[in-house]
Structure 1
């Protein structure tokens, strides 16, 4: 019968990427594995728009389910719209899994993103186990799983000042300043007063998403045990079958992590401007600062202008990705940047709308990465040995920044004043990383972590062992199913 894994990612690119990477690992590493990737019509339209190789991947089968929402690839549904669409998605997924059950290739296991918790009931109804793929580190998963500790500690509804508060009650997580904590988990008193029912709905959503993690078949974490050991050990001690199997992009490199990984799947929602690589070819070794804020962050125009002023004053060479619609209420580059900025920096700066990030980070001209600290970007940066200028924007990024700066010491954070970065604070961070002792330490430390990540996916490495164990367990599931059907 063989193993048939059905993958269901959350629809944002940062969540799709590791799910697709896992699919390719399973399809190429395990003979006889069948992999189906389930996406909405909107995600499929994104693949069509960028002519993604996923459309004709020889080992990954693409299936579209209905969510009843606008299929335009540029459309971003609101959270209430997504919640309202869940019954439609559940019915569509159930129909697909039942059709597979009646086929020669029934599903062995459903692997979905943690934010697809609505798929749990579908898997139970169809009679297959569900594993989660968590695309952030385990220390972030702990915040969701132990969210009740925030309630019992009286931290939510939150009434104080974030800058004066340290969150110390989450098992598996070191103390985190309130300003760095995941805001979605720290609902404020004014939010409760404005809409008490919404507050309860958010708490229930968090409980539904994380609360029964110890009942899931496996929680697969796109992280590395050596980076994330306290959180992983804490979850496992509470009965969660959590396995660190990352970085997923490394498992399919030709020599098990000894060469630069390439992303052949082309799952980017935006067209890459590869001219930036030729531009980098003409620059000196370790001389260019790469700047990118991921696929989803929205940044205020005034902060973008502060960054531009800081770059101009620093005289630093830079490659800057300004994604379409990445600035709040602005669409034109000319309206975002200070007047005459591009002309004044034309000899030492280049701006593109999207870049092939792995190739850029691997380029010898890159000296550092000014990053939003998204987890995919953080893993890529560690692997390629590039120190980080940390400027988190949302979600888990503030907590990631804390680990980058304080625990792993592979980067320096841009300090914020009243919640915003200024040209002075950006300039100080650039200077510290390029010229001062903390920067020298970060450059040395990131090389050590690069070596660590390489070892985790090689024979005997922690992530390789965990992935091999998961593959073995899937094979056992398929064998049991085959025996029961005889």
Structure 2
């Protein structure tokens, strides 16, 4: 085809920050590599968000909107009654239903776009949880690709569980809460069933949805995974290498490395500027991470007993029976032990929303107590900060297992701590102050952690090499673009 011809990809991400951030950065990478490409990102409204998350999303999109050949289209929003019904009817699974509710809106957009657009539509790039949009793409004769925001190990797990169910008639829900250890091709070591994602083994529709997602992934034209081969070399090599799966492109780490410069964030960085190098342990549990009062007390006690400098991102737990973004505390004294803030004033700082990349890249930060969300793992590795694992939901338990047992890149506080997929915190065990303190000491003091710190430093360098010209991820992005251009639909 003519080199000057333009081709447009339509991205459909899950609108939550954990998915949206890396999706937008991936779009920017693609248009930066090939001037023939333009990208439109369709934005759905999440059925839950708070003002801080909403403003962060808007800031991200406004910044990205300055990019040439990248635009955003906001799909019409559901009315409040429909959103409330969605939350109530499908707690924990509402994202799948949100996608289905938006199918007609995407059809309407494409119909208008085809009649008025100047560039040639090249296909959809959908989030791993948006594969239902393949139906819409097929109606318009468009190929579908996937941007997979979790690790390659999770992709391999989906394929493996799908094989167990389809080829061996294995009821994978039997693994839920069992003491079984499984041989999974993408892992070197046997995997405890207790670290499998709840959605993969949940008997109440979660497993069915997960198997459906695996089937849909296999039907796509290609899957970009936000990882790099040097990190997940065994998992990448162990994926099926036949016609049963589409081409896999390892394109990571895909990160937003812009540091926020707002008032609250500036105060946090100024506080870190006053601390000695590698002296601060940073505690942050992701966009949905929060704890009940008793657990907060245990964390506070552990921090005080450890004596280490700390920066702690602490937010309110979600209301019972609701799935909402955690909100800021109006008065920290209401949840923290009496006198805690005064006693730790010289060594600690408790904050709400955290500018995570800015914190992790600061020289004062020496360790990260993390929920092990994949974006957070990639950010910590990029910044060379070792992790103490405390997973909460999603595939985070499996990520923690991979970091600690498979790769030796983290120390363990917990591997199988888990809030129910429906975020029912009443079912959650209490992690004691002793366990937390022990993890912090292993992370910040233990001589055995020196080997982990060195490994993390080496992986940090490998992550940066991977995305540079000639690196494996850089080359993989090039292959993806080539395949997109070679598979342009002839009818549009």
Flag whether TM exceeds 0.5 (same fold): yes
Instruction: Tell me what 1:219 maps to.
Output: 223
Out of 23, 28, 37, the residue aligned to residue 27 of structure 2 is: 23
Q: Quote the Cα distance in structure 2 between the aligned partners of 1:76 and 1:294.
A: 23
Q: Quote the Cα distance in structure 2 between the aligned partners of 1:477 and 1:53.
A: 31
Out of 158, 165, 174, the residue aligned to residue 158 of structure 1 is: 174
C-alpha contact 1:111 1:132 (8 A) present in aligned 2: yes
The root-mean-square deviation of aligned C-alpha atoms, in Å, is: 3.1
Instruction: Tell me what 1:391 maps to.
Output: 390
Q: Quote the Cα distance in structure 1 between the aligned partners of 2:413 and 2:150.
A: 22
Deviation of 1:117 after TM superposition, in Å, equals 1.5
* Mapped pair 1:235 → 2:227: no
C-alpha contact 1:272 1:355 (8 A) present in aligned 2: no
CA distance 1:442–1:129, shift in 2 (3 Å)? same
* Mapped pair 1:121 → 2:135: yes
CA distance 1:383–1:72, shift in 2 (3 Å)? farther
Out of 131, 138, 141, the residue aligned to residue 152 of structure 2 is: 138
38-47 or 411-420, which moves further after superposition? 38-47
Instruction: Tell me what 2:306 maps to.
Output: 314
Instruction: Tell me what 2:430 maps to.
Output: 420
297-306 or 445-454, which moves further after superposition? 297-306
Instruction: Tell me what 2:410 maps to.
Output: 411
Deviation of 1:153 after TM superposition, in Å, equals 7.3
Q: Quote the Cα distance in structure 2 between the aligned partners of 1:408 and 1:326.
A: 33
Instruction: Tell me what 1:5 maps to.
Output: 9
CA distance 1:92–1:360, shift in 2 (3 Å)? same
Instruction: Tell me what 1:347 maps to.
Output: 346
Out of 446, 452, 476, the residue aligned to residue 486 of structure 2 is: 476
Instruction: Tell me what 2:361 maps to.
Output: 362
Q: TM-score, normalised by structure 2?
A: 0.84
Q: Quote the Cα distance in structure 2 between the aligned partners of 1:441 and 1:244.
A: 27
SS in structure 1 at match of 2:239: helix
C-alpha contact 1:291 1:370 (8 A) present in aligned 2: yes
Q: Quote the Cα distance in structure 1 between the aligned partners of 2:362 and 2:176.
A: 45
Instruction: Tell me what 1:253 maps to.
Output: none
321-330 or 11-20, which moves further after superposition? 321-330
Deviation of 1:18 after TM superposition, in Å, equals 1.1
Q: Quote the Cα distance in structure 1 between the aligned partners of 2:388 and 2:118.
A: 51
Alignment deviations for residues 294-317 of structure 1 (CA, whole Å, 9 cap, x no partner): 101232322221111000011110
Alignment deviations for residues 310-340 of structure 1 (CA, whole Å, 9 cap, x no partner): 0001111001111354697995533322222
* Mapped pair 1:381 → 2:380: yes
212-221 or 127-136, which moves further after superposition? 212-221
Instruction: Tell me what 2:112 maps to.
Output: 99
Q: Quote the Cα distance in structure 1 between the aligned partners of 2:450 and 2:97.
A: 51
Q: Quote the Cα distance in structure 1 between the aligned partners of 2:25 and 2:242.
A: 28
CA distance 1:84–1:180, shift in 2 (3 Å)? closer
Deviation of 1:271 after TM superposition, in Å, equals 9.0
Out of 289, 295, 312, the residue aligned to residue 303 of structure 1 is: 295
Q: Quote the Cα distance in structure 1 between the aligned partners of 2:371 and 2:85.
A: 23
Question: What are the ranges of 5 or more consecutive residues in structure 1 without an aligned counterpart?
Answer: 193-198, 251-260
Matches within 5 A, 1:270-309: 273-309=265-301
Out of 469, 480, 483, the residue aligned to residue 459 of structure 1 is: 469
Alignment deviations for residues 6-36 of structure 1 (CA, whole Å, 9 cap, x no partner): 1110122111111111111122232242111
CA distance 1:361–1:140, shift in 2 (3 Å)? same
Deviation of 1:95 after TM superposition, in Å, equals 1.4
Alignment deviations for residues 323-376 of structure 1 (CA, whole Å, 9 cap, x no partner): 354697995533322222111111111111112211111111111011111100
Alignment deviations for residues 83-141 of structure 1 (CA, whole Å, 9 cap, x no partner): 55444311110111222222212421211101001101001011111101110101111
Deviation of 1:155 after TM superposition, in Å, equals 5.6
Q: Quote the Cα distance in structure 1 between the aligned partners of 2:175 and 2:474.
A: 44
Q: Quote the Cα distance in structure 2 between the aligned partners of 1:67 and 1:141.
A: 31
143-152 or 77-86, which moves further after superposition? 77-86
Deviation of 1:45 after TM superposition, in Å, equals 9.6
Alignment deviations for residues 274-298 of structure 1 (CA, whole Å, 9 cap, x no partner): 3110000011111111110010123
* Mapped pair 1:338 → 2:337: yes
SS in structure 1 at match of 2:231: helix
Deviation of 1:219 after TM superposition, in Å, equals 0.6
Alignment deviations for residues 49-68 of structure 1 (CA, whole Å, 9 cap, x no partner): 34515234343211012353
SS in structure 2 at match of 1:248: coil
C-alpha contact 1:368 1:389 (8 A) present in aligned 2: yes
Deviation of 1:470 after TM superposition, in Å, equals 1.1
* Mapped pair 1:54 → 2:33: no
Deviation of 1:413 after TM superposition, in Å, equals 0.7
CA distance 1:463–1:140, shift in 2 (3 Å)? same
Deviation of 1:202 after TM superposition, in Å, equals 3.2
CA distance 1:393–1:143, shift in 2 (3 Å)? same
Question: What are the ranges of 5 or more consecutive residues in structure 2 without an aligned counterpart?
Answer: 322-326, 418-427
* Mapped pair 1:111 → 2:125: yes
C-alpha contact 2:175 2:193 (8 A) present in aligned 1: no
Q: Quote the Cα distance in structure 2 between the aligned partners of 1:344 and 1:204.
A: 50
Alignment deviations for residues 220-254 of structure 1 (CA, whole Å, 9 cap, x no partner): 1000112223333333414321111001128xxxx
Q: Quote the Cα distance in structure 2 between the aligned partners of 1:310 and 1:475.
A: 55
